[in-house]
Structure 1
Amino acid sequence: MPKIIIAVDGYSSCGKSTTAKLVAARMGYTYIDTGAMYRAVSLYFVQNQIPINHPKAVRDALDHIQIAFQINSGTGRNETCLNGLNVEEEIRKMYIANFVSEVSALPQVRHAMVAQQQRMGRKRGVVMDGRDIGTRVFPDSELKVFMTADTFIRAQRRQIELLGKGEVVGLDEILENIRKRDHIDTTRAESPLRKAEDAVELDTSYMTIDEQVEWVIHLADQRIAELHRKGHFKLKEK
């Protein structure tokens, strides 16, 4: 069966990454966490004291950043590697969350990461989540999903996630972080977060992860069947 690209965009803490991972696993697709890529760049900048207001320093730093994903044999999780080191736990910490929107708004960073993401998805059969997948990275993706949720619910989810990792953060601080990220993501000049015209919106405020996964897979199956009927895949395979 021919495969498609599923682009999952939306706000932070809406369940994008978890849903995208499970959809990819169920469909036998490759999962690409673009948010983790920007977090890895942010970590590198922090560790190497790269001034983000200095374009040449940013450009030079990007030449020394290699990001890859590996499957943890014990947990089966898709984990992020920065220059050969597993940084999955570190990039999920709050100090990176407070910095990543500023880093990902830099044109040089976005250009470098978008180029990597496009190479990763060239053969299709991928589920990619982020903030500009359907609008910038893969505007021709066959299925675009835009996820949203109530801000307070998003903050609660993020707090539970952090507690599970032993990081205690107040709800007010998390709410402030989410609102700040939303503002930067939606107003930045380079690839702002927005819903693609042909994206299907999914409000996850009162949905379980299983319900989200089933919803996306159902849409994907419908889209594949529709494209197959129209002969779309025959054209793609020539």
Structure 2
Amino acid sequence: MIIAIDGPAASGKGTLGKRLAHHYGYRHLDTGVIYRAVAHTLMEAGADLNDEALAVAAALELDPERFGNPVLKTQKVGDAASVVSAFPRVREALVSFQRQFAADPPGAVLDGRDIGTVICPDADVKIFVIADPRVRAQRRTLEARSRGEDADEDAVLADILKRDERDQNRSTAPLRAAPDAHTLDNSYLDIEAGVRAAIAIVEAVRAKR
């Protein structure tokens, strides 16, 4: 089974993805980390984030061992990832990696912004996780501060809104719910409630088969 989880950043989809994968004994891939790794490679080299050729080269030489680097979770790298992920050729370079991960047994949960629409359009279950932008800003600010970063909630909110607009309006793989996706509003659910809601969606789909 392939479970695709999409939605805007800080909506809680990453946590849901991990917990769902654990619940069902599947593998989990946070696809946002892939783009963060590409962006971080350019940042380390002091390269221009708007240089599509360099971004493609970094994507083709992607090292999964880098995915665990905690710096990839920072706001700065996240903003940079939104820039490089808008390049069509970068997304093309990473499609096969994600699809192979999804295809390998025993099953997989992938979360990102185009899983149910582009990467795995035939996923068994598609969940589109949303949350109020202000709530997302609060979560992102708390996460940043927990890492010792100096984060201003209003500035974080502005960045979130800017990134959403950019991702929703990009020409390649725009952020949107697949027609057959189930929407999960995670604005005011704690982790446990959100996981229960996601499991309920999966089980409801399985029951119809």
Q: TM-score normalised by the shorter chain: which range applies?
A: over 0.9
Counterpart of 2:16 in structure 1: which amino acid? T
What does 1:112-127 correspond to in 2, within 5 Å? 112-123=93-104, 125-127=107-109
Q: Give the SS at the match of 2:47.
A: coil
- State whether residues 21 and 28 of structure 2, in contact with CA within 8 Å, keep that contact through their aligned partners in structure 1: yes
| Deviation of the 1:86 alpha carbon | 4.2
1:96 aligns with 2:96: no
Of 157, 166, 170 in structure 2, the residue corresponding to residue 184 of structure 1 is 166
Q: Tell me the C-alpha RMSD between the 2 structures.
A: 1.5
* Counterpart Cα distance in 1 of 2:83 and 2:181: 26
Counterpart of 1:119 in structure 2: which amino acid? Q
1:110-130 CA-to-partner distances (Å, cap 9, x unmatched) read: 112221100101135111100
- Percent identity between matched residues is 37
Change (3 A) 1:57 1:42: closer
Gapped regions of structure 1 (runs ≥ 5)? 69-80, 228-238
* Corresponding residue for residue 131 of structure 1: 113
What does 1:147-226 correspond to in 2, within 5 Å? 147-226=129-208
| Deviation of the 1:51 alpha carbon | 2.9
* Corresponding residue for residue 39 of structure 1: 36
* Counterpart Cα distance in 2 of 1:59 and 1:98: 18
- State whether residues 27 and 108 of structure 2, in contact with CA within 8 Å, keep that contact through their aligned partners in structure 1: yes
Gapped regions of structure 2 (runs ≥ 5)? none
* Corresponding residue for residue 58 of structure 1: 55
1:133-189 CA-to-partner distances (Å, cap 9, x unmatched) read: 000000000110001111111100111111111112001110111011101110001
* Counterpart Cα distance in 1 of 2:204 and 2:74: 38
Matched residue count: 208
- State whether residues 51 and 58 of structure 1, in contact with CA within 8 Å, keep that contact through their aligned partners in structure 2: no
* Counterpart Cα distance in 2 of 1:86 and 1:18: 15
Scaled by the length of structure 1, the TM-score of the pair is 0.83
- State whether residues 38 and 100 of structure 1, in contact with CA within 8 Å, keep that contact through their aligned partners in structure 2: yes
- State whether residues 11 and 182 of structure 1, in contact with CA within 8 Å, keep that contact through their aligned partners in structure 2: yes
1:39-93 CA-to-partner distances (Å, cap 9, x unmatched) read: 1111001112333443433333333322x2xxxxxxxxxxxx32xx841x11111
Change (3 A) 1:96 1:221: same
Larger % of helix: which?
2
| Deviation of the 1:225 alpha carbon | 3.0
Scaled by the length of structure 2, the TM-score of the pair is 0.94
Q: Which protein shows a greater Rg? A: 1
Change (3 A) 1:201 1:220: same
1:94-117 CA-to-partner distances (Å, cap 9, x unmatched) read: 211221111111112111222110
Of 14, 17, 21 in structure 1, the residue corresponding to residue 18 of structure 2 is 21
